[in-house]
Structure 1
Amino acid sequence: MKLKLLQSGTTGLLIVAALTGCGYSQKAEQDSFGSSGGGLEGRTITFVTGSHPWVDVIKPLLPEFEKETGINVRIQGYFEDQLTQKLTVQFTARSETPDVFMYRPLQEGKLFFRNGWLEPLDAYATHDVDYDLGDFLPQAIRSSTVDGKLAGIPIVTEQQILYYRKDLLNEAGLEVPSTIEELKEAAAKLHHPDQGVYGFVARGQRSPLVTQVSSFLYSEGGDFIQNGKAAINTPEAIKAFETYGGLLRDYGPPNVINMSWPQASAFFANGKAALYTDANSIYRAALDQEQTKVAGNVGFAPFPAGAEGPMPYNITSWGLAINPKSADKEAAWAFIEWATGKQMMLLTQQAGNPGPRTSVWNDPQGTIGFPKELAAVFKQTINGGVDHDRPQTVDVAAAREQVGKIVQMVITGESDIQETANQANAALQDILDKEAE
């Protein structure tokens, strides 16, 4: 495989020359899973994608995959919400297309799998030892597993980290917060709304905030569900929700309750917040020279420790899956095997997409797509943390609603959230009980 890469600003590396061989045609033997690509010439598969930078790396390389395997790939792209709607309509109609698709394992995984819309991939992924399923991060695999079955193959991972303003911390004589208590203290000292700078910003919208409060919850020793039971009214949960909501109430912008990640990241990038916690995968928003006013002063740090230490989420945010109704599962798997193999994962990660393969993270070339400081934080966080960032239910949207309303009560100034948490916990338990029937 011959690769040629050029530096593209601060956002990673751009592929300018394609692969000249993936080795598929070198294997003469065809097996039942199509991992060799042999015997698949002339077949056509439909690949449905979400709107993601990972896709931008894959697209220019598809002609070479087609040349080597003889498989034709039709690609269709949609925004996230459109993608879910598209897939739901197709699968409900028992359509044979798409053959391969991107999906969000923690948002749709349980629903899709239990509806019979995800082909179990255990046998495919373990058939060829060279594919090396064991090379994938354990947390990434767990995020993509439903009812003990591998429902998809991870392609993009996320961990929650701390973004901070180096200049503001230096001016105030503060160290980078390493604990949640230090985070609260720093937010208080750096909060100067009269000067246009708020101490802290993060997602405040009801559903989007759930994934970000999760790391606060885990770091205090809690979880959304414990031992199969709803647990969002425990002392650990109350403490986490009050901490996150309190940071936004006391040190966040007035309209924070309307912010998801695009609004929160833009607020930070425009120099209006000193501290910001969110996914490491959205770091580009803070570094884009054309969009941000603080690019040279952005620092990255691991998520701060709570009572149980630092326990950020460490998840698969996007995966690839096969439609069980596909007429060309072997060709579909050949595509996934190519797209998620070590060489392609190196390319997609070099382009700034944090991937799931340990070997790529251990390769010095695997981190050149990220700022050095951020790469160091990545390497500290990828081997720990929790493999989910929201309640693990079939009806994720309803479960997130229950968590989000508790936190929003704190943001809007409620002093006692226990009763609301008890009611929300009962509602979450009802969701779990109905799913167990």
Structure 2
Amino acid sequence: MKDLKALVSSITIACALASSASSIAEAAQCTGTIRVIAQPRDGLTLLENYKDEFAKLSGGADFQIDYLNENDRRAKTKADASTIGKYNVYYIDEANVALFAKSGWVAPLTDYYPADYDYADFDPGRQKVATYDGKVWFAPLTGGGDLMVYRKDLLEAAGIKPPTTLDEYIAAVKALHQPDKGIYGTALRGQRGSGANVWRWMPYFKGFGGNWFEGDKPVFDGDAALKATETYLEIFKYSAPGSQTGGWDEAVGAFTSGQVALLIESTPLVGMALDPKSSQVADKIGYLPPPTPLTGGGYGHGLAIGTKANKTEEAKQCAGLFIAWATSKENEQRRLEEGQFSELNRTSVMTSPKFAELYGPDLGQALADTGKVTAVNFWQNASWPDLGDRWGIILEELITGTRTDIKEGLDELNGFATDLVGRSQ
């Protein structure tokens, strides 16, 4: 039966690809090698098994993917995009999409992404992150928003309903905090960084109505930022040990090891929490969108069309075709079959019967619901990492107690932001 299912799945994918190939064959005929720079992803490695398929689809093209770790990838893509342009396709992310787009290093993706590949099928939250200045710049390979995961057994034993508002969430965190029994209300990120403690703080800031700027004037020293910081620090009293200077790994590890009652984290957490190989509570968890008014922290990594290496319209079309094929429904279905949860980005796949079979009937709906409240919480600007990292230092000091005056910290950040904007003009 398993072999029959695999055969049916293969036939379905082959037929879909044949249909796509016939409808876009006139759009781009490509030869040579499309060069891609990326950081390691299982979904990209999987593509190596289907080079013949892409060659047939494109009219004879090959592709080569060079892999670097995240920091090296960011440095090398920036250097290449601004100088020689060796690579046709860049792997970019939410932290640098504004820089690449504003600098003209990448082309608007949907100008060259064949319509048959249905860009609108991507999760709405990932689409928001891939959009800057009203245009789409990359096709998602991974990403997401936030989900609230919780221990059903602990909530049921305490007679607590899964919280849907922030007040309910805070009350549940406090009620379920039992450090003498090795159970902690939640786990937050205390480690400094725009992608660490600031990332988890931002849903509170945006949920309370905060904005980073009004024009060029920084305005995050107002009531929203103050309330967000006070709330974050209050909840931190019930956070698992090690999280005060920890990040994603520490927070997720605390939950999957059974130490945490409720956790709001980026959606790849769920794949780990549901996997018995990585989770001690795989059969005990439930999930919902973040409690209102929190926004989901939208992030995404994906593939973009380089402009220097693709000097002609035909070259851009070929790079667009590769990106469309690499992120297609058919290849995403293959990732689903391989259990690559964090590589899934399409609504049609996450609401499919196969997804429900693998991950249960409710997760697809929860992901769709959280996509509706996922937002771009960070400042979409090339200087965002500088601003975010500066706040991360101040916030870590507030969390660890080496700094105690929240308003003073926010005023300091406001001054830093004013200077930052001045330098960039």
**Structure 2 counterpart of 1:289, which letter?**
P
Identity over aligned pairs, percent: 26
In the alignment of these two chains, the number of paired residues is 409
How much has 1:368 moved relative to structure 2? Answer: 4.7
CA distance, structure 2, for counterparts of residue 268 and residue 29 of structure 1: 48
Query: Counterpart of 1:293?
Result: 280
In the aligned structure 2, how far is the partner of 1:28 from the partner of 1:238? 53
**1:200 CA drift (Å):** 1.3
Moved more, 188-197 or 138-147: 138-147
Measure, in 1, the Cα distance between the counterparts of 2:418 and 2:386. 11
Q: Which residue of 1 aligns with 2:136?
A: 150
| Matched residue type, 1:89 | A
**Residue of structure 1 in register with 2:79 after alignment:** 89
Distance in 1 between residues matched to 2:66 and 2:367, nearest whole Å: 31
Report the residue type matching 2:283 in the other structure. G
* Paired residues for 1:59-78 under 5 Å: 59-69=48-58, 70-78=60-68
**What residue in structure 2 maps to residue 184 of structure 1?**
170
Structure 2 unaligned blocks of 5 or more? none
User: Which secondary structure state, in structure 2, belongs to the residue aligned with residue 382 of structure 1?
Assistant: helix
The alpha-carbon distance between structure 1 residues 53 and 277, as it changes in their structure 2 partners (threshold 3 A), is farther
- Structure 2 SS opposite 1:62: helix
- Give the Cα–Cα distance (whole angstroms) in 1 for the partners of residues 334 and 149 of structure 2: 26
Secondary structure of residue in 1 paired with 2:50: helix
**Which letter maps to 2:249?**
P
Q: CA RMSD in A?
A: 2.9
Structure 1 residue 418 displacement after superposition: 0.6
- Quote the residue 1:9 is aligned against: none
> 182, 200, 203: which one pairs with 1:215?
203
Find the aligned partners of 1:18 and 1:108 in 2 and give their Cα distance: 37
Residue type of the alignment partner of 1:263? E
Q: Which is richer in helix?
A: 2
How far the C-alpha of 1:393 sits from its partner, in A, is: 2.0
Matched, 1:239 2:227: yes
1:170 aligned to 2:166? no
Give the corresponding residue for 1:430.
419
* Amino acid paired to 2:296: P
The residue number in structure 2 matching 1:257 is 244
| Pair 1:183–1:428, CA change in 2 (3 A) | same
| Matching residue of 1:392 | 380
More displaced 10-residue stretch of structure 1: 338-347 or 202-211: 338-347
Residue 12 of structure 1 corresponds to none
Q: How does 1:295-310 map to 2 (within 5 A)?
A: 295-305=282-292, 309-310=293-294
User: What are the within-5 Å matches in structure 2 for residues 29-428 of structure 1?
Assistant: 30-31=26-27, 34=28, 39-40=29-30, 42-69=31-58, 70-95=60-85, 97-104=86-93, 106-125=94-113, 128-207=114-193, 208-248=196-236, 250-305=237-292, 309-313=293-297, 315-327=298-310, 328-348=315-335, 351-353=340-342, 355-361=344-350, 363-365=352-354, 368-386=357-375, 388-413=376-401, 414-428=403-417
CA gap of 1:354–1:235, structure 2 versus 1, over 3 A, is farther
Question: Post-superposition shift, 1:140?
Answer: 3.2
Cα separation, 1, equivalents of 2:422 and 2:228: 25
| Structure 1 portions without partners, runs of 5+ | 7-14
Q: State the alpha-carbon separation in 2 of the partners of residues 400 and 354 from structure 1.
A: 26
Larger mean CA deviation between 21-30 and 56-65 belongs to 21-30
Residue type matched to 1:26 in 2? S
Deviation at 1:18, TM superposition (A): 10
Aligned-partner Cα distance in 2 for 1:56–1:367: 25
Deviation, 1:360, is: 4.3
In the TM superposition, what is the alpha-carbon distance from 1:264 to its structure 2 partner?
A: 1.4
Q: Cα distance, 1:109 vs. partner? A: 0.8
Task: Give the TM-score, by structure 1 length.
Answer: 0.83
1:107–1:17 distance in 2 versus 1, CA, 3 Å: farther
Q: 1:268/1:178 Cα in 2 relative to 1: closer, same or farther (>3 Å)?
A: same
